[in-house]
Every structure is written in structure tokens, then in C-alpha cells.
Structure 1
Amino acid sequence: MKVKTRFAPSPTGNLHIGSIRTALYSWLFARRYNGIFVLRIEDTDIYRSKSLSVDSIFKGLRWLGLNWDEGPYFQTQRLERYKEVIEIMLKEGKAYKCFCSEKEIEESRLKQIYKGEKPRYNRTCRNLSIKRNIDNKKYVIRFKNPTSGIVTFKDKIRGDITFNNSELDDLIIQRSNGIPTYNFCVVIDDLDMDITHVIRGEDHINNTPRQINILKSLKAKIPIYSHVSMILNENGKKFSKRDNAQNIIDYYKNGFLPEALINYIVRLGWSYGNQEIFNLLELKRLFNLDSISRSSSTFNIKKLLWLNKYYINNLSLNYVTNILKGYMEHDNINIKNGPNLECLLKLYKSRHNTLKEIANSCKCFYEEFQYLNKNYIKKYLILKNFSILKSFYNKIKNLSSWKIEILLKIIKNQSIESNALLKEINMLLRFILTGSICSPNISSIIFFLGKEKTLLRLKKAIFFINKINKEKIN
């Protein structure tokens, strides 16, 4: 049997962490067994489906490297196929037209609730003769679900799960507007595409017996089902597109590496001993459905940041630099107007959790900045530092050799000459040269900034102090 899995998102909102985990598990399972991974877009909800969400799905999967072997298939392009099957089911008595109005169904539902019964469609139209004069009356089409017996399926994660058919109602398989419903379309898609394994969230468990009954009525082979537990956000709530869960592509925008996200997401429910770090080759070899937990997982941004920092520091320097370059170019920063970006990455990579943070720290090497923090202006751009900066400016200006060890020596000498702590000199220089009080060692900053930019920024700071303290200096 050729393993064939599918990822079938609906384009009605953001592609979030929970959705991506489903895609990842399905993709890894197919890859482990040299199978086929199908991408299918379930867009029959024409009122909520959005083209932007479809683009988001494609971008998110491609960014993470979850390439598909077949598709993307769109359900709205398969409507004729669904209707063809529905017509056959109507002729064979496996489905029927229901002419009950929404008002009638709601009245029936309220009566059932009043009696303490489980509300479900009362099957008024189940044995209705179609020959009755009901022309021009709106109707839906319902599946004729068995009224007795049980439906049992062996879930690869949860074991045997059983439902009584008496608990299941006659599912609507085509709406009154002629559009087939999700629970019907997904069955026909899985059947036509020869899907062998369905991996999806536990919120679909109640759909499974209905879908199995439809498959049985079509004398089709039943896929193997695996229902993974929910992922909870840091507030203990389920990730949901309706609650505007963060779009997966936003993790890219915020400076996360795809390797870190893949590694983190796969561990939200799956484990292999105590191992925490996995590369993709290992995951393809080790992933299995038997090691997926039945318990829900909780998203932890601190753990994801830790993993991202690990990958920034351990992946190829050239690879990470090229991605960092993309962030800089996105912000219209001309990286040709400054030091080698790979050298800066070496300098900053151990200090930050994301590439976005590194990119922000590196901006000062390529473009000018304004002094914005009023507290730091009052602390560093003051009259007592005027002579220190002038002295340091002259030392830098007269330098003939540009080496880190020489720069470090000049900074130390300036500290002694100015009768100031080395730490105070470092912080002063750090602020006026980078606009921040956080950076790697200041001698490295000056080295990569270069003589020309260093002198210009020293001059700018001297001019600034001179301007706001003009009367005192004169």
C-alpha cells in the first residue's frame, strides 16, 4: 500500500501553529514511508473563504519547506464531481431531499431540548416520496445515515473509538444553494485521491463516524485515522483562526528560522526519548504516529526563542547571513554601504534570539540615526563629555592602522586620561556610535563601523553638545 496523506485547510483565516502541525505530521509521515503528500484547499464555504488566506497557506508551507507532491486541489473546482455522486446516492436511496424549513427544524429542536433529548433532525423527509408536488420549494440533501448498529474505527493515536448510529443524525451533504458541504466533499476527495492516512485535529473526531458511514455506503475503503490533541496558547485557549491566531508567516517576519519552527512544532505532541534538537533528515527517519501524545500541548514562546537562537548559532553562517540579508533589504537598508554582513552576524548572533533583532542592531552600520531617547541624551550628551569626545575624536583621526587591539588600547587610554571608569567611556561611545546602550564590545563596533563613520558620529555628538550648551562652552 502506497502511503498517501493530505493537508486540507480551509482558507477562512490565518494558517496558525495548530494547522501547521497537522501539515507537518502528515508531511513527515508521507516522507518517512516514501509516500505522497497532497495539498487540498477546502473552499466550499464561499462566504468565508478568502484568496488572501489561500496565498498565506502557500507562503507558509513553502517557507517551512513542506512541499506537496499533488495539488493544490480546490473543492470549488470539483463541484460537478460531488453533485454527480450525490445524484447517484439519491437514485440508490442513500440520500434524500429535505424540504423542512429552518423554522420547522428549529421548532423541532426546541421540543427535543424541552424533553431532555439530544437535538437532531427528526427525519421528517427521510421516506418522503419525491413525486409529491413540491416544485419550487427550497431543499437540502441529506445522507441517509443508518439508524441502528455502531461505527467503530481504530484511531492510531487514541485506539478504538465507537459511536452508536442512533446518536448520529442525517447529515446535510448539499446546502439549499446547491453547494455540497464539507463533511461530504472531504469524503469524496479522500476517496478519489486514494488517501490512506488522515491526520487531523481531535475536533474532527465527531465528524469521523459520519464520514465513515458515507464511505461505507459507497463501498469504499476506509482510511486510517489519527486525531491529534489540541495546542493551547499561553492563555490556555485553543489556537483558532477565528480568534486571530498569529499567521505562520508572521514568524518569518519576526525573524524566526524555518528549522527552529519545524523543530519546535513537531515536539508539540510528539517525542523521541529526551531528544530536543532534530534536523529534517532525522525527523523523516524517526517520525511515527505511535509516539504522538493524547494530551494537549501548550505553546511556549520562550522555548521557541531558545530554539531559534540555537539554530542561528549552529546553522551555516552563509545560510543565516543570506536570510538576514533579506530582512535588511526588506527594510530598504543598503548593505553595500557598510561592513560585511557575515562579520556582523558573527558579532551579534550570540546576543539575540531572532534575525529581526539582529537586523535592527545592524542598521546603525549602514544608515544614520537620530538621538531619540531623552533619558540617554540627558545622561551622555552633556557638557562634561565634550572634552572626552573631542580628545577621542583626535585620537581616531590620527590613526594610521585600523585594528581592534589598537582601538581597544585607545579606549583604555582615554579612560585613564579622562579619569573616568572604562565602563563609563564604553557606554558613552556605545550610545553616540550606535544610538543604543546595548551592543557587543565597543572596540569591535568601532572597527566594523570604520574610521569615516566613527569620526562623523563623534563629530555629530560634539556638535550636539556644543549646540545645547553653547553659552556654557563660550
Structure 2
Amino acid sequence: MLRFSQSLAEVMSLENLRVALFNYIVAKQLNEELLIRIEDLDKEKVIEGNDKVILELLTLFSIEHKAVVYQSENLKYHQKLTMQLMGSKKAFSCFCSDEKLEEISAKCKEEGKVISYDGFCETLSDETVLNCNAPFTVRIKKPENTVEFTDLLKGNFSFQPSYVDSFIILKHDKTPTYNFACSVDDMLYDISTVIREEKHIENTAKQIYVRNQLNYTKRIDYIHTSSILNVNSNKENDLNSVRYFIEQGFLPSAIANYLVLLGNKTPSEIFTIEEAIEWFDIEKVSNDTVEFDVEKLKLINKKHIATLDEMRLSKILGFADTDIGKLGKLYLDEASTINEIKAKIDLIFSSKDSLKGFEDDFFDLKECLSSAPFMGDFNELEKYIIENTKLDDKSLSRNLRYLLTGTHTGPDLSAIYSLIKNYMGEIVK
């Protein structure tokens, strides 16, 4: 089984989504199931309603999963296995204050050493521990040997004991720390492959060590994907969030296409995730940091819009008319997102009262069209207007385009008219 984990303290970013997509694709290729794990242990930092948003986004991107589990549901197992480690003398109670830990950290920095715990509480006798009423954390004992593992993408890693350290596995409030909870949960759900961002490489060493100390012997394959550079990361506005790009009018299919394309050699530039399952090779994804390019995403988005069924596009734009879908595609030469196309359509249906410098001509044109019979042909419409107004060719062209589209430039007016002729009463109101 594979798993995708998302913290409730963070909005889903493009990097998170890329990892989710990789997990989904590989799970399909291996014919294994995918588990969604919601990390909700840090209650103070949880963003209200974020779990609902996360699950809605996964559904929007058609990322199928077997189940959704909340990390807090496994608290009793986290605590039970902590006691097991303490009983076998592989973990110990630590009574050190924050001030003491800061002092240890400062000393390590001063001596140019890796910041690690000095082991003071590890030497306390059982009697001393029993008689101490101070709050305590639980630390796992520092490994005696290096912790080694092979990343299927990045190769071999080796971490010295000082890097792994006697790290805390249970906090003062008796809730587990991130690395201990992840270690236990991956055991509980029989995870076989972990795909996540490269920032977790050091965490992987700690989690492997925890499982070793718990005598868990099943092999877990690890793949750490490269980071994405130059994505907006303004936390206040969530400009790195998946929801932000959806709200800006990017199609989920285009976003998924772009994220899988990043740092990857693909048979074609435009594809669906279903197609990617056929040829994707996680071990051939680039190890190099990849650079986000919003212009490239816009280009891919434009191509995905172009392949949409016209009725579906129409409904996305707020209509239920194939002609409106075709109209939307007419604007793809100058628009790249659903929002940009919708803005063009909204202008067509907006109220146009006057055209500066041509007020009289504009009024005459509007009056003419308001009383005109239905005309299915654009040339027929122009002929009718010339016969019933005093507009010359230049004035007619300028005023008619503005009245029908709200702008002075755009696609061929006759092509636009053929798609909006049924709405003329609403457009020239």
C-alpha cells in the first residue's frame, strides 16, 4: 500500500499535489491501494475545515484512494509502542527544560558540532525517574551505528548517530512527535512504498531507526522527489496553494499534466493522468530541482481547454449551450484560463450604453438592433443596419464590434455573431 500524507496545518501546495499524483500513478502501476493520511496531531496549528478542502481537491483531481485516516486516531498505538520502547530500555524519560535544551544547542553550535542531545537523562536511575514529579518527554536512544537506506531515485544515504540523535518521540502532553507517529502509522497500514518531497530525507533516517528499534523488518521503498522553485509562496494569500490556481481558472487536468511533466521526459507534452499511468517511470524523474513557469502552465491550460467538449466548457462558463462553448474557444488566441475567457463572455453580455466619440451613431445602432428581426447571417445583419441607419462602413464596424463584444479587438466578428445570434435581445438591451 502507498500513502499520501497532508498536514492540516498547511494548505495543499503544488508540491504536495505533485507528490499525491506520483503516489496515485505508482499505486495504479503496482496494482496497490492508496491511503490518504491526514496529519492532525498539532491541534494548535490546524486550519479549520482544511481536511474537507484537502479531500475535495483530491476528488477534483480524480485521485482515487481506499480510505482516509486521521493520525490522531492512532494515538493509543503511538503511546503503547512508546511504552514498549521504554520497557526494553530503548527509550527514556527526559526532564530537561527548554532552557537546558537551548543551552545544549548553543554549546553544540559553539563547538561546531551537529546539534544533538547530550544524553543526561538517559543515565538517570529508575528510582530517580520514579521520584521525579516534573513533566517529561520521551526520547529514543541514539543509534550506535549509522542508519543507511537506498532511495530509488537518489541512491544511497548514510546518517551518523549524531544526526539521528536521541530525538523526542513523545511530547509533554503525551502526543507523539511527527517522526514517531509517521513511523508507527506506516507500520500499522503496511505501507510498502513512500513517495514524498526531498525535504524529508533526514526524517526518513529517523523513521527507519524507530521501526528498527520496534523490530519491524518489512522493507519500505523510499522515493524523495525534487523541490519546485519559483512558485509564489505568499502564505497570507496562499499563492502556492492548489486552490488558488483552480480559482484563477486553471483546469485540474492541465495542472496535473504540468506537474507530472516537470522534471520528466514524456512521450508527448499534453496528456491525461490516465495516459501517464501507461508510461510513467518514477525512477526516471529528474533529481534536479525543477522550476515553476506559470507561462508554461498557461500554455498547457490553453491546450486542455481546446480539447474540452463544448457543452462542458459552456457549463464551466455558466451556460448550457454548445455555441457558448465554441465561443469560449474562439478567444483562446488571447486567453489562457477559464477566468480570462469568462471575462470576455461577460463583456459580451454586459450593458453597453455609449461609445465615446460616437455617441449618436452608437445610439442609432442600438435602436436599430433592438427592433431588428432575427437574422441568422452576419452579412444579412450588416446589410439591414446600413439600410436602417446612416452609419458608414468605418463607423458601423467600430460601433457594432463594441456593442456585440464590449471591446474594440478580438476574433472575427462574423464568427462571434454566428454563436451569439440567439442572444441578441439580451446583448443589445
TM-score by length of 1: 0.82
CA drift of 1:241 comes to 5.8
Q: Choose from 159, 170, 174 the match for 1:174.
A: 170
Q: Secondary structure at the match of 2:139?
A: strand
Query: What percent of counterpart residues are identical?
Result: 27
CA drift of 1:389 comes to 4.9
Deviates more, 1:255-264 or 1:163-172: 163-172
Q: Choose from 268, 276, 279 the match for 2:269.
A: 276
Structure 1 residue 441 and structure 2 residue 412: aligned? Answer: yes
Contact 2:94 2:136 in 1 (8 A): yes
Q: Choose from 347, 352, 357 the match for 2:335.
A: 352
Which residue is 2:146 aligned to? 150
CA drift of 1:443 comes to 3.6
Q: Secondary structure at the match of 1:277?
A: coil
| Residues in 2 aligned to 1:104 and 1:398: alpha-carbon distance in whole angstroms | 86
Q: Choose from 80, 83, 87 the match for 1:87.
A: 83
> Deviation string for 1:305-345 (max 9, x for gaps)?
10111011113223333333xxx3xxxxxx48x99533433
Which residue is 2:227 aligned to? 230
User: CA distance change for structure 1 residues 37 and 348 in 2, over 3 Å: closer, same or farther?
Assistant: same
Please list, as runs of the form range in 1=range in 2, the aligned pairs for 1:341-420 lying within 5 A after superposition: 341-364=324-347, 366=349, 368-369=350-351, 380-382=355-357, 384=358, 386-387=360-361, 389-390=363-364, 393-394=367-368, 397-399=371-373, 401-410=375-384, 418-420=391-393
| Residues in 1 aligned to 2:165 and 2:123: alpha-carbon distance in whole angstroms | 15
CA drift of 1:365 comes to 5.1
| Residues in 2 aligned to 1:52 and 1:436: alpha-carbon distance in whole angstroms | 41
For 1:188, the aligned partner's letter is V
User: CA distance change for structure 1 residues 395 and 170 in 2, over 3 Å: closer, same or farther?
Assistant: closer
Query: CA RMSD of the aligned region, Å?
Result: 2.8
Which residue is 1:460 aligned to? none
| Residues in 1 aligned to 2:132 and 2:325: alpha-carbon distance in whole angstroms | 74
Contact 1:15 1:241 in 2 (8 A): no
| Residues in 2 aligned to 1:339 and 1:108: alpha-carbon distance in whole angstroms | 69
Q: Secondary structure at the match of 2:255?
A: helix
| Residues in 2 aligned to 1:339 and 1:180: alpha-carbon distance in whole angstroms | 55
Q: Secondary structure at the match of 2:149?
A: strand
Which residue is 1:315 aligned to? 308
Contact 2:254 2:300 in 1 (8 A): yes
Which residue is 1:212 aligned to? 208
Contact 2:238 2:244 in 1 (8 A): no
> Deviation string for 1:245-297 (max 9, x for gaps)?
43212222222111111100111222235x31122222111112211111011
User: CA distance change for structure 1 residues 234 and 92 in 2, over 3 Å: closer, same or farther?
Assistant: closer
User: CA distance change for structure 1 residues 451 and 190 in 2, over 3 Å: closer, same or farther?
Assistant: closer
User: CA distance change for structure 1 residues 394 and 73 in 2, over 3 Å: closer, same or farther?
Assistant: closer
Which residue is 1:8 aligned to? 5
Structure 1 residues without counterparts, runs of 5 or longer = 329-334, 372-376, 457-474
TM-score by length of 2: 0.90
Q: Choose from 182, 188, 206 the match for 1:192.
A: 188
- Between the two proteins, the alignment pairs up a number of residues equal to 425
| Residues in 1 aligned to 2:251 and 2:96: alpha-carbon distance in whole angstroms | 53
Which residue is 2:297 aligned to? 304
CA drift of 1:410 comes to 5.0
CA drift of 1:119 comes to 2.1
User: CA distance change for structure 1 residues 398 and 38 in 2, over 3 Å: closer, same or farther?
Assistant: closer
Which residue is 2:59 aligned to? 62
Structure 1 residue 427 and structure 2 residue 398: aligned? Answer: yes
Contact 1:212 1:222 in 2 (8 A): no
Which residue is 1:254 aligned to? 248
Contact 1:397 1:455 in 2 (8 A): no
Structure 1 residue 42 and structure 2 residue 39: aligned? Answer: yes
| Residues in 2 aligned to 1:168 and 1:301: alpha-carbon distance in whole angstroms | 38
Higher-Rg structure is 1
| Residues in 1 aligned to 2:32 and 2:352: alpha-carbon distance in whole angstroms | 56
Contact 1:263 1:279 in 2 (8 A): yes
Which residue is 1:108 aligned to? 104
User: CA distance change for structure 1 residues 28 and 240 in 2, over 3 Å: closer, same or farther?
Assistant: farther
Q: Secondary structure at the match of 1:65?
A: coil
For 1:381, the aligned partner's letter is K
| Residues in 1 aligned to 2:34 and 2:238: alpha-carbon distance in whole angstroms | 27
Structure 2 residues without counterparts, runs of 5 or longer = none
CA drift of 1:159 comes to 0.7
Q: Secondary structure at the match of 1:78?
A: helix
Contact 1:16 1:240 in 2 (8 A): no
For 2:93, the aligned partner's letter is K
| Residues in 2 aligned to 1:321 and 1:356: alpha-carbon distance in whole angstroms | 13
Contact 2:305 2:329 in 1 (8 A): no
For 1:369, the aligned partner's letter is S
| Residues in 2 aligned to 1:54 and 1:395: alpha-carbon distance in whole angstroms | 53
Which residue is 1:52 aligned to? 49
